[in-house]
Structure 1
Amino acid sequence: MASPLSDIPDHLLAEIFLRLPDSEDLVRTSAACVSFHRLATDGSFLRRFRRLHAPPILGFLWAGGMFYPTLPPHPSAPAAHALNLAADFYFSFIPSHYRWTVQDIRDGRVLLEGDIEKDERPPVFKDLAVCDPLHRRYVLLPPPPHDLAASLEHPFPMGSEARCKAFLVPLGEEEVVAGVTTFRVILMANCKTSLAAFVFSSSTGQWEAAASKGWSDLALTEGDMAEMSWVHPFILRRHYAYGCFYWDWVEFGVQKLLLLDTRKMEFSIADLPPGEWNKEGGIAVVEAGEGRLGIFGFHGKTSFNLSYTIARNKGESPSQWEVEKTIPLDSGTGYRYFIRDATQSYLLFTRIDASSSLKDRLTGYFSMDVKTLQIQMVYEKQNYRLHETYPYINFPPSLLSSRRL
């Protein structure tokens, strides 16, 4: 008579569980018995599982508060549908006179900014909140202290063109596995002569000055400064890899990256790989493995063939690059592609019908696994709002520790 599964040694069970297709299967497996649950929730096992299985893409959250779940046949569609039914993406659980708008999403948590009343004078800093729409938990962030605001040199007031931008710092692998309740928010302020960054930590409940750099100290050429003198840095695309945030100026003709190292809390400038990058198609900075940066983008004037370039040397400012692969996205079907976002596991891009009389006729949202380069349709319905959405990836690692701060 065959031995029951419970008699299989733990190290063999772990190898079996690692080969489950996705995290939903692991959750169902952990509910089978006590020994399965103990193994499936072990920290070392979860770290191994996370390295092999990227977190699910559950949908896209519009800045104004509307969720577009991932659609079939994508494997995340059932979980996305369940999330859409259970979560409150209108944020009605936050009692406030504000109309909240989405600023960022990381690890299932949403960073919100409160819109000011029309008759009020725009402040330097707006009110911020971090929330978990699934469990209807939130934390209201205190305003930065007056001395931090006073330290800004020639700040721009908040207005139609925002001069401050807040975003969440991604959790590390160990933090995700541990289900930590803490989070960090970076607030960057663009001044006439400098950039400044402040950091809020939920563990201390306080803001701290983190980094400041004069524009003239960022090693830009006079030509670069002339090109970027009118460009607000926070309308640029933001990327994250190996503990650093990157912003690219490709759309404005400058082959540079603005870099913020969150470990040292320092600003610097890095060069893009040589070549003509398509400014309309966009680029994405990703983790290529072994501490090396990777860049997806379109070369030349077309947005059909996606190029993947990898740094040959490690570090946040590599100097040697090589083209790893060219991925054809169009076979004469009349579509154009645009990179919209990138996570530590996925590249996300949209497809436009180039033959349509409607310039922004979006016909699909796609994901590409950064490791396998496998492309999947995520959302196919035509919807203009998807241009202004944030990808919602993974469930919240834990409830926030309190409703209010």
Structure 2
Amino acid sequence: MATSNKKIALHLTDLPDHLLAEIFLRLPDPADLARASAACVTFRRLATDRYFLRRFRCLHTPPLLGFLDRDGFHPALPPHPSAPAARALAISADLSFSFLPSHHLWTVQDSRDGRVLLHRGPKMCEVTPIFRELAACDPLRRWYLVLPRVPDDLAASVGRCRCKPSLFPLGDDEEEAAAQEASFRVIWMAYSETKLAAFVFSWSTGQWRAAASKGWSDLVLSGSESAMMPQVHPLFIRHHYAYGCFYWDWTLFWRKTLLMLDTRRMEFSIVVPPPGEWRKEGFAVVEAGEGRLGMFGFHGQPASDLTYTFAQNKGENPSQWHMEKIISLDSGYRYYIIAVNARYLLLIRTPDISQVNPLFEYFLIDVKTLRLQRVYSHYNRLKFVGTHIYTNFPPSLWSSHTNMKW
């Protein structure tokens, strides 16, 4: 088999680079490109070219390599197919963030496409500001940027509030204009007793701007409730991002709803989820394909089945839902959704916690396949908050210029 692969590589090297690049761009999985790059010097040179890699990463979804929580980075373990790349990442990257100043004070807030967003905790005897200091970084290439503080006038516009920062993808115009792979955007959601606000930081401008604002009374669903305050504020613990929109779970007058922010128009609105009882073990909004939203949630008592429903109509505000599949889970355990991005869902399975040193297991669902895959397990305390899926391309698919610092 090895001799056959070498013969194929020798024949392909006769092709000009631009044709080879088109072939490599059509490889279905980043792992296939990593294997091809090891076949010969020509393939390696092409597969590590900066321009080619930028094109490849634009056309492919980065695989899940593990997840981050308060204890650090946890790589995907065998038999998960990403385990070899996750192991290489754990060796190549600095996922303890030691390259950040006072790195022990920073806490992970979000992760997207290899970038990680952190905020700095207060130093001893320091008053904690509402809008903390943020840093965006790439632990594989060890670059970082400490973001400027949210300007006083923007902070004052929302008053005393709670807030949650998140990374979100670049717009199409920014992707075209981005000359470096370090480009990113951050959105800081803030909510007070009277309104919601969103502030956006763009790497290209280096500044914060007010992006959206809306009063709570403008979001209610009927005139009789318009003068009332929401009974429960949205919990900005875990966000959901799909097709240019953020979603949060929001209980409004004892009705389960979704708070949506359209980042293209920068407008807040309410989305009514599929009918039925959605249990406290969690839900997730994902990209179902063809511009349609998908939603995972638990049913049963206790939560023993995971239901996948998708919107029949395209667009960010669905009006009709269709149940696609019920994923049966092993009895005798409790499952919880602890992290989600547009494509992946991370669940934790808990045994009877009265056991001595119980084993907690982590499972991944790929929205495209709807298969449940075990990615990690540990004997430790249970965590529901502060877990973030980490996706990136294997270290072999990054060009050799690293150690950029701003």
**Matched-pair contact (CA < 8 Å) for 2:107–2:120:** yes
Structure 2: distance between partners of 1:185 and 1:381: 32
TM-score when normalising by structure 1 = 0.83
Instruction: Report the secondary structure of 2:378's partner residue.
Output: coil
Quote the offset at 1:13 in angstroms.
8.6
Task: Please name the residue that 2:64 is paired with.
Answer: 57
Matched, 1:379 2:376: yes
1:6 aligns with 2:7: no
1:365-405: CA deviations, max 9, x gaps?
1111101112211002233265342121114978899623x
Q: Which residue of 2 aligns with 1:284?
A: 284
2:240 paired with 1:239 = yes
Is 2:43 aligned against 1:46?
no
Query: Percent of counterpart pairs with the same letter?
Result: 53
How far apart are the structure 2 equivalents of 1:242 and 1:253?
Answer: 28
Question: In the alignment, which residue of structure 2 is the partner of 1:144?
Answer: 150
Letter in 2 for 1:335: Y
Query: C-alpha deviations, 1:185-241, integer Å up to 9, x for none?
Result: 111111110011100111111000100010111124577998953435323x31010
Distance 1:279 1:124 in 2: 28
Compute the displacement of 1:18 (Å). 3.8
Query: Which residue pairs with 1:184 in the alignment?
Result: 185
**How much does 1:300 deviate?**
4.1
Q: Which ranges in structure 1 are unaligned for 5 or more consecutive residues?
A: 157-162
What secondary structure is seen at the aligned counterpart in 2 of 1:151? helix
Whether the 8 Å contact between 2:135 and 2:145 is mirrored in structure 1 is yes
Partner of 1:352: 350
Q: Residue 253 of structure 1 contacts residue 279 of structure 1 at CA under 8 Å; is this kept in 2?
A: no
C-alpha spacing 1:252/1:352, structure 2 compared with 1 (3 Å): farther
Looking at structure 2, the residues matched to 60 and 180 of structure 1 have their Cα atoms a distance apart, in angstroms, of 22
SS of residue in 2 equivalent to 1:212: strand
Counterparts of 2:349 and 2:276, CA distance in 1: 24
Q: Is the 8 A contact 2:240 2:340 kept in 1?
A: yes
SS at structure 1 position matched to 2:78: coil
Between 31-40 and 368-377, report the one with greater CA deviation: 31-40
Cα distance, 1:39–1:133 mapped onto 2, change above 3 Å: closer
Aligned to 1:229: 231
Amino acid in structure 2 at the alignment position of 1:314: K
2:363 is equivalent to residue 366 of structure 1: yes
Name the aligned partner's letter for residue 352 of structure 1: T
Residues 99, 348 of structure 1: alpha-carbon distance in 2 compared, 3 angstrom cutoff: same
In the TM superposition, 1:250-269 aligns within 5 A as: 254-269=255-270
What is the number of equivalent residue pairs in this alignment?
387
* Structural mapping, 1:311-326, within 5 Å: 311-326=311-326
Which SS does the other structure have where 1:347 is aligned? Answer: strand
Contact 1:60 1:386 in 2 (8 A): no
Structure 2: which amino acid aligns with 1:229?
Q
Change (3 A) 1:364 1:224: farther
* TM score, norm. by length of structure 2: 0.83
> Residues 310 and 329 (structure 1 numbering): CA distance in 2 closer, same or farther, change over 3 Å?
same
Does 2:33 correspond to 1:26?
Answer: yes
Structure 2 alignment gaps of length 5 or more? 1-6
Q: 1-side partners of 2:235 and 2:35: how far apart?
A: 45
- C-alpha contact 2:337 2:347 (8 A) present in aligned 1: yes
Q: Does 1:298 align with 2:320?
A: no
Residue 133 of structure 2 is aligned to residue 131 of structure 1: no
**Partner amino acid for 1:4?**
H
